[in-house]
A and B are shown apart, each in its own frame.
Chain A
Amino acid sequence: DAKTTQPPSMDCAEGRAANLPCNHSTISGNEYVYWYRQIHSQGPQYIIHGLKNNETNEMASLIITEDRKSSTLILPHATLRDTAVYYCIFPGGYQKVTFGIGTKLQVIP
């Protein structure tokens, strides 16, 4: 299995940036890092992915270290609706890849 390490939980004040870290030290050179989130018991939702360069879309930014062993998902202005479990994975084919328990982000009013 492709393993990632994330803190089990984080708090963030509403309106502030939420920075969610992920370690993926065993990632290989051609494997992308993907971030998903799951709000309550809904189906997980794709957020962003990247290979080497930093990426940004309408939902978030992804910062990948130069050695690619870790990355940080940034939600620039967290809202209460961003309260969710955030998963970092590098599927390498999605075979036998579990999403783990992710980081439970609680946005506080």
Chain B
Amino acid sequence: DSGVTQTPKHLITATGQRVTLRCSPRSGDLSVYWYQQSLDQGLQFLIQYYNGEERAKGNILERFSAQQFPDLHSELNLSSLELGDSALYFCASSVGNSGSSGANVLTFGAGSRLTVL
């Protein structure tokens, strides 16, 4: 158990639907990161939050949105789902905001597997 909790573990839904993925960071971590991993692909950075504020945005689609709540948990909302959105979605957390620090290791959750039919 890494300390980062992601729910649900598996989700099957239909095209056009909307889903919400949830992430609880490791205790004490202020940053939350979301990544998408399609089949046999690398991890694609989507978005980062630090202490409730958006800090960095990657190639996140407009149909996707995220937020980090006061208790530091985060949710990733995926809407108007398409077949190509089927992927593993990972959440990671870290203490700080900058990877330049030697102490800012990312801890990943087990992921949420989304299947869009």
A95 cross-chain contacts in B, Cβ below 8 A: 45, 48, 55-56
Is B105 on the interface with A (CB-CB < 8 A)? yes
* Inter-chain contact A32/B100, CB cutoff 8 Å: yes
Residue of A nearest to B102 (CB): A32
At the interface, is chain A mostly helix, strand, loop or mixed? loop
- Encode B16-50 as 1/0 by CB contact (under 8 A) with A: 00000000000000010101010001111100100
Interface residues of A in 23-49 (CB under 8 A from B): 30-32, 34, 36, 41-46, 49
With contacts A94-B56, A95-B56 taken as known, whether A43 is within 8 angstroms of B109 at the C-beta atoms is yes
* Inter-chain contact A92/B100, CB cutoff 8 Å: yes
- Number of A positions contacting B (CB below 8 A): 27
Please pick, from A96, A99, A102, the residue contacting B56 in the complex, using a CB distance under 8 A.
Answer: A96
* Inter-chain contact A41/B88, CB cutoff 8 Å: yes
Interface residues on B, range: 35 or more
A109 cross-chain contacts in B, Cβ below 8 A: none
Interface residues of B in 81-117 (CB under 8 A from A): 88, 90, 92, 94, 97-102, 104-111, 113
With contacts A51-B102, A91-B99, A91-B100 taken as known, whether A42 is within 8 angstroms of B42 at the C-beta atoms is no
Is B58 on the interface with A (CB-CB < 8 A)? yes
Please pick, from B48, B57, B107, the residue contacting A46 in the complex, using a CB distance under 8 A.
Answer: B107
* Inter-chain contact B106/A101, CB cutoff 8 Å: no
With contacts A31-B100, A32-B99, A91-B100 taken as known, whether A43 is within 8 angstroms of B110 at the C-beta atoms is yes
Q: B residues touching A (Cβ–Cβ < 8 Å)?
A: 2, 4, 31, 33, 35, 37, 41-45, 48, 55-58, 88, 90, 92, 94, 97-102, 104-111, 113
